[in-house]
A and B are shown apart, each in its own frame.
Chain A
């Protein structure tokens, strides 16, 4: 069970859109549409942003969206705002009641 692969960092200017990728294998991301995404400001509790691939919990902005193609899931944030600057982590169900996270991506709003 290897960690999912995320870019170490992405950046964008206010108002732009960014996409963070999360690449796994046919044993996790590719087999299940069960990827979740978390926003994490240092020192705070992580916040659920997307679950089951593309579902937003109540209260999460509709600027946030999730998708999947093959073994890669993606998180897109449109209309980038300063408050979006944080670390983002993906997680996938990996079968047999186990889960695997990605290495995390630092989003910088320029």
Chain B
């Protein structure tokens, strides 16, 4: 059974960089059949797609976040990561990592999510 688990600091100071890792177990992140993505949900709001990455390293970002986001993949550790720089309180959210099949335009497996607060 595929599992995704987000990890990283739960509290980040304003203007600093938010860093999260998604560890994939029960499947290979190097499969050509999937993209891997980050999605967030600010408190009381809807979901927002942050970006996606292919095992080859090709990345796709939300235009509204593109200038602050970097997503990378480490196939040796079966992990992919998110960096969001210059954070503000508006970046406080539950962050999810998820799998996106190339043949199904959707996210079929999700992590449980991790709440990251931006506060001094």
Complex interface: chain B residues within 8 A of A36 (CB)? 105-107
Interface size class of chain A, counting residues whose CB lies under 8 Å from the partner chain:
20 to 34
Q: Is the CB of A93 within 8 A of B110?
A: no
* Size of the chain B interface, CB-CB below 8 angstroms: 24
Contact of A103 among B46, B62, B109, B110 (CB under 8 A): B46
In the complex, whether A34 has a CB less than 8 A from a CB of chain B is yes
A89/B63 contact (C-beta < 8 A), A45-B113, A48-B106 known: no
Contact of B112 among A6, A44, A101, A102 (CB under 8 A): A44
Q: Is the CB of B60 within 8 A of A98?
A: yes
Cα–Cα distance between A55 and B106 once the two chains are bound (Å): 11
In the complex, whether A80 has a CB less than 8 A from a CB of chain B is no
Complex interface: chain B residues within 8 A of A99 (CB)? 49, 62
In the complex, whether A62 has a CB less than 8 A from a CB of chain B is no
Q: 8 Å CB contacts to A: which residues of B48-64?
A: 48-49, 52, 60-64
